[in-house]
Amino acid sequence: MLVSEILRIKGNALYTIAPDAPVLDAVKAMAQLDIGSLVVMDKGRMAGLLTFAEVLVALADRGGALGDARVSSVFDANPLTAEPSLDVMELRRNMLERHARYVPVMDGTTLAGVVSFHDVAKAVYEEQSFENRMLKSYIQDVPNAEGQ
């Protein structure tokens, strides 16, 4: 299974924020949309990724208050990214190595979407469930060696 297939299944909604936006606006958007990340876009290009992990670090660094902190001061400017043609198992390995919960999918310089670790786990589970059903069906249809 390819990353592009995950995006096709989950849809193409993109949630972005500008680097000069207040972090509090990002937190409100993530809470309202029930998402864990926002792609930081600057002049039409991806500048990085803001996740709840960066927000928590900012809160800890600032004594529990975001104040007037801007996205540009807390986001990850070098997130793990994936191409649509990447195999999901390879993406899963990369995400585990980098402890990445969210991965922007880039088709060249174009943002195609974001996949979460949940999306990857679900895709792997569904693919393995399908393979298990096919194997069980095959085993049931194979004639018994003694009964031939």
DSSP for 19-36, written as a single string: TTSBHHHHHHHHHHHT-S
Radius of gyration in angstroms for the set of CA atoms belonging to the chain, rounded to a whole number: 20
For 40-93, what is each residue's pLDDT tens digit? 999 999 999 999 999 999 999 999 999 999 999 999 999 999 999 999 999 999
Token pair listed for 17: 């924020």
For 22-50, what is each residue's pLDDT tens digit? 999 999 999 999 999 999 999 999 999 99
Q: Which domains does the chain have, with CATH numbers?
A: 3-141 (3.10.580.10)
* Cα separation values, 75 from 4, 31, 33, Å: 25, 17, 19
**How large is the angle between the packed helices 52-61 and 23-33, nearest 10 degrees?**
140
This prediction has a pTM of: 0.83
